[in-house]
Amino acid sequence: MQWRIVVTRSIPEAALEELRSVGEVHVCEQDRPLRAEELHEAVRGAHAIVSMVHDRIDGAVVDAAGPQLRVVANVAVGYDNVDVDALAQRDIAVTNTPGVLADATADLAFGLLLMLTRRLGEGERLLRSRTPWSWHMSFMLGTGLQGKTLGVVGLGRIGQAVAHRARAFGMEITYTGRNRVDPDVETALGARYVSLEQLLDEADAVSLHCPLTEATRHLVDETALERMKSSAVLVNTSRGPVVDEQALARALGRRSIAGAALDVFEHEPTVQPDLLDLDNVVVVPHLGSATTETRTAMAVLAARNVTGVLAGAGAHTPIGA
């Protein structure tokens, strides 16, 4: 049988070669997020769909594809864009790409933390605006990280990678999540498990690495922000809706927290306009996994999930397994 494989947006050639080894590959011509009707049309007759984080994959997409659909391979760790239950009811395999992007995302998260605490974004904007300046002892002072506490919300692969980097900078680690991690991981990181409320009370920097679920939507809301120290900063490289951006903008505007750095946004790609007017905010356009090596590895893993399922061998990284 000649399998029809639909890729919703361009991916690296190495992944396309993997897919071509088992079937006919159709890459959507529009190199942008597809509208629902465009996505439904594109997947008609597909045996496999390689989807991106901005694609909403639900029962309607499955119905548009047809009963021959066998696998949806999401090129991301998070899969809040996929209705996993709806696909499971139709016996369709769903996969993601865990593991391969932990270091890249952790590098970015820690880079964002440094941009905040050392005011690097502000400094670059000052020079690019050609504003006159001169060095003096109190010029653009930031804060150091040594001896400070990093609170990690979600100590999975990415959260652990961030904690390792923080330890190298002399930080103490607290963490929270649905469950405690392995005691050996706690020991290696010197990490303390605390409640979310205690983490927010104590942390000098809060870094978000939890999945987006109904339980974590607006996890960081006005109440959570009010618990944070006025000197504390927030970093989000997980999913935008984990943070209530309107509440965050208000907190930053009145300096009830010192700053925030965001790689993801509640209504991506739109950014809350009030955030863009504040100097104590760093914003970057969803760059967590944006290295050539990582994005290639993600796409290749997604492709191997497709070829594994279509060959009858099963997926390498199935969701819900």
Active site residue 13: no
Pure H helices in 169-291: 183-189, 196-202, 222-227, 245-253, 273-276
Which among 192, 250, 268, 316 is annotated as catalytic? 268
Active site residue 268: yes
Type of residue found at 268: E
Which among 239, 245, 266, 304 is annotated as catalytic? 239
CB-facing half-sphere around the CA of 205: CA atoms within 13 A: 28
Q: For the purposes of burial, counting CB atoms within 10 Å of the CB of 135, is it exposed (0-12), middle (13-18) or buried (19 or more)?
A: exposed
Distance between CA atoms of 188 and 31, rounded to whole angstroms? Answer: 43
Of the candidates 73, 44, 39, the residue with the CA atom closest to the CA atom of residue 55: 39
Do 256 and 225 touch, CB atoms closer than 8 A?
yes
Coil, strand or helix at 95 = strand
Active site residue 286: yes
Of the candidates 317, 272, 310, 319, the residue with the CA atom closest to the CA atom of residue 18: 310
Of the candidates 55, 30, 50, the residue with the CA atom closest to the CA atom of residue 301: 50
Rg, Å, the chain Cα set: 21
Distance between CA atoms of 126 and 106, rounded to whole angstroms? Answer: 27
Query: Which sequence positions are flagged as catalytic?
Result: 239, 268, 286
